Amino acid sequence: DQQVKQNSPSLSVQEGRISILNCDYTNSMFDYFLWYKKYPAEGPTFLISISSIKDKNEDGRFTVFLNKSAKHLSLHIVPSQPGDSAVYFCAASEGAQKLVFGQGTRLTINP
């Protein structure tokens, strides 16, 4: 049973525009959320995180939004750059070190 779902397997965005990646979760006990980025033939790397006590966290071009009532979070990348082309994984946890990941969304930035 997928507790963290990324319903869009892929997304294509023009360079310079905004990329919006979405993630839904079912476990209301999750209290910490993260986004990881993965390039081909490499392991995932941490990108940005947000605690459940917040609804927004920003780091440069990356912003994560959390809507607890809808059990939904999103990652905004603006402006999108070619180097942002990668697979993005959403992850969540409930107080422990254990992370539950989604299926991933492949983002392609077109020049």
**62 vs 79, beta carbon nearer other proteins:** 62
> Exactly one of 19, 21, 35, 44 binds other proteins (CB under 8 A); which one?
44
Tell me the residue type at 46. Answer: F
> Does the footprint of other proteins cover residue 53 (CB under 8 A)?
no
In the structure encoding, which two tokens stand for residue 96, read together? Answer: 């422990």
Length of the chain: 111
Selection from 86, 87, 85 nearest residue 109 by Cα: 85
Report the residue from 11, 20, 78, 99 that binds other proteins according to the rule CB under 8 A: 99
Instruction: Give the span between the Cα atoms of 91 and 88, in whole angstroms.
Output: 10
Q: Which stretch binds other proteins (CB under 8 A): 12-20, 40-48, 60-68, 69-77?
A: 40-48
- C-alpha to C-alpha distance for 79 and 102, rounded to whole angstroms: 24
User: Which residues of the chain form contacts with other proteins (CB under 8 A)?
Assistant: 2, 6, 32, 34, 36, 41-46, 49, 51, 89, 91, 93, 97-104
